[in-house]
């Protein structure tokens, strides 16, 4: 039996085990998906141990996404983003990927949203980095709006210096309203909306020509998505991004097309 798993701390409430196991069941793959909770700071050591124990693949979440870079060979996109969320042990050293970026792109694709034109990305933390490189690699002009403007400016410079087709600028979050007037896509990569019924951008900035993805998936319908739907925008909830980062990891590991419907059903059953 192949063993896959998630490295995080804490990992107790993770939705990845039921999502991946639904995929194995659907394709008759003899595998299980378990969670590992090594001590903080021990991410790279945990990856080396997993290799020794013949683990086939690992997902990686907070607080280990940067640490594990010391124990893997990152692909180009993971190296740019500076974070790994998927490790494939078929190579030596293991290969590190960032399927959060692929997950974002495939979530939009699933909803028929073309990633062309202008994007406003709110947030410049870990999730924001993956989103910025993902959107720019699709060729979009990305305005990164962040509360701490310096982080947005620095991230935008990194995006411009990388060999991606698109471009980026760093902006204060207070400019989001003006930036959104010309935007085709809005991504929330902050935690705003998770704890309280708040949106990172004013409701009157939203319009019917926008496609809005919220990386927050708890609650599944955030205030941002509610206000976006009311403005006539296309909405993509955070579970789609969570699903497709998992599907992309599943495909890396198994070489099979991910059974999207079965994995989505399992994920949403556990979200409710």
Annotated catalytic residue, options 7, 8, 43, 65:
65
Q: Is 146 in the site for ligand ATR (CB under 6 A)?
A: yes
DSSP 39: P
Asked about 65 being catalytic, the answer comes back as: yes
DSSP 174: G
Binding residue (CB under 6 A) for ligand ATR from 57, 128, 193, 258: 128
Report how far residue 10's alpha carbon sits from residue 231's, in angstroms, rounded to the nearest whole number. Answer: 37
The nearer residue to ligand ATR, 50 or 81, going by C-beta atoms, is: 81
- Give the DSSP H/E element, type plus range, for residue 146: strand 141-146
Q: Is 242 in the site for ligand ATR (CB under 6 A)?
A: no
Q: Is 120 in the site for ligand ATR (CB under 6 A)?
A: no
Least spacing, CB of residue 152 vs ligand ATR, in Å: 8
Binding residue (CB under 6 A) for ligand ATR from 42, 110, 111, 147: 147
Q: Which of 115, 107, 178, 179 is nearest to 144 (CA)?
A: 179
Please answer whether residues 128 and 155 qualify as being in contact, where contact means their C-beta atoms are separated by less than 8 angstroms. Answer: yes
DSSP 147: S
Q: Is 174 in the site for ligand ATR (CB under 6 A)?
A: no
Place of tokens 């471009």: 167
Binding residue (CB under 6 A) for ligand ATR from 192, 211, 212, 241: 192
Q: Which of 75, 122, 90 is nearest to 216 (CA)?
A: 122
Q: Is 8 in the site for ligand ATR (CB under 6 A)?
A: no
Least spacing, CB of residue 8 vs ligand ATR, in Å: 12
Q: Is 191 in the site for ligand ATR (CB under 6 A)?
A: yes
Q: Is 170 in the site for ligand ATR (CB under 6 A)?
A: no
Read off the tokens for 139: 């060729």
- Give the DSSP H/E element, type plus range, for residue 71: none
Report how far residue 15's alpha carbon sits from residue 20's, in angstroms, rounded to the nearest whole number. Answer: 9
Nearest residue to ligand ATR on Cβ basis: 125
Residues that bind ligand ATR (CB under 6 A): 123-128, 146-148, 151, 173, 189-192, 200
Residue positions annotated with a catalytic role: 65
């Amino acid at each position: 039996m192949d063993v896959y798993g998630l490295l995080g701390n804490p990992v107790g409430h993770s939705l990845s085990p039921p999502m991946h196991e639904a995929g194995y069941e659907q394709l008759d793959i003899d595998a299980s998906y378990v969670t590992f909770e090594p001590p903080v700071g021990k991410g790279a050591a945990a990856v080396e141990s997993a290799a020794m124990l013949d683990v086939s693949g690992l997902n990686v979440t907070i607080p280990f996404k940067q640490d594990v870079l010391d124990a893997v060979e990152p692909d180009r996109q993971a190296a740019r983003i500076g974070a790994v969320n998927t490790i494939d042990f078929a190579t030596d050293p293991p290969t590190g990927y960032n399927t959060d970026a692929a997950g974002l792109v495939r979530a939009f694709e699933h909803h028929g949203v073309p990633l062309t034109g202008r994007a406003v990305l709110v947030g410049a933390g870990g999730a924001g980095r993956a989103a910025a490189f993902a959107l720019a690699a699709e060729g979009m002009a990305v305005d990164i709006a962040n509360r701490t403007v310096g982080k947005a400016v620095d991230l935008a410079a990194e995006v411009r210096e990388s060999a991606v087709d698109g471009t980026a600028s760093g902006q204060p979050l207070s400019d989001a309203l003006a930036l959104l007037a010309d935007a085709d896509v809005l991504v929330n990569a902050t935690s705003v909306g998770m704890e309280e019924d708040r949106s990172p951008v004013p409701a009157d900035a939203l319009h019917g020509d926008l496609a809005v993805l919220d990386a927050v998936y708890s609650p599944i319908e955030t205030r941002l998505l509610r206000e976006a739907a009311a403005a006539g925008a296309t909405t993509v909830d955070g579970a789609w991004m969570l699903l497709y980062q998992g599907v992309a990891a599943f495909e890396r590991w198994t070489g099979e097309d991910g059974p999207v419907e079965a994995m989505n059903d399992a994920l949403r059953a556990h979200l409710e």
